[in-house]
Structure 1
């Protein structure tokens, strides 16, 4: 069976530290895959906020997540702190991708625990249809 292999950028424009909560831990004693997706969501919100945006106000339009891909590399446990690096790329008229690199510190070195990509589509909730990517937002998120 083929595995997902994400092509990741080499540079990230944003990073944030997020602690693993006890509620993130599953019956296997490590962070569950659903909690990884929630952690990515938190990182996305912080990333957007760093530009003055939210998912519901992205330069006057909203964002919806069209797809997600996650490569799991290592386990996370209660008490770990995750460094999540984020950047945007692959801009089109209506959408763009966000890339996430999740790392934890082990013996003084940062080790990758997961890689992820979310496809974000610009959306007008009032009209219930996709909308053009705001030029202002593309310029801010491009680096």
Structure 2
């Protein structure tokens, strides 16, 4: 299942070239990921006991976003390992009743025990919910 969230392009996201700066896309990924997590895990998530860390990220830019564009980001689980999982992203804007692919990317997240400073297995409940999505 894919989670879809709206992107709110802020004036501060725009660079000297008049489009959304490339670094901002990671913020869009993070916002979408956290909305998806809140929906999947719930708002009572305890970061200190069930932490995650970002291990890898990549983005492929297809075309620019501008201040007044209407865009959404699709978020989905691409892969699960023992302690890590890969989240995929697709940013799509609507222009003249057409959907245009703006960017794709993914992040690898690792479940992490902040006390021991070591990776830990994906919690069973998370794995179950991720498999359902």
TM-score by length of 2: 0.91
SS in 1 for 2:41: coil
One of 112, 130, 135 as aligned partner of 2:124 = 135
Question: What are the superposed Cα offsets for residues 102-142 of structure 1, whole Å, 9 maximum, x if unpaired?
Answer: 00001101111000100010001111111111111011011
Question: What are the superposed Cα offsets for residues 72-130 of structure 1, whole Å, 9 maximum, x if unpaired?
Answer: 00100112222101111311111010000100001101111000100010001111111
Partner of 1:15: 4
One of 77, 86, 106 as aligned partner of 1:88 = 77
Partner of 1:63: 52
Aligned residues: CA RMSD: 1.5
Unaligned runs of 5+ in 1: 1-11
How far did 1:53 drift? 4.3
Write the distance in 2 (CA, Å) between the matches of 1:115 and 1:57.
29
Superposed structure 1 runs of 4+ greater than 3 Å apart: none
- Answering whether residue 109 of structure 2 is matched by residue 120 of structure 1, we say yes
TM-score by length of 1: 0.85
SS in 1 for 2:126: helix
The answer (yes or no) to whether the contact 1:67–1:119 under 8 Å persists in 2 is yes
Partner of 2:95: 106
Number of residue equivalences? 130
How far did 1:52 drift? 3.0
SS in 2 for 1:126: coil
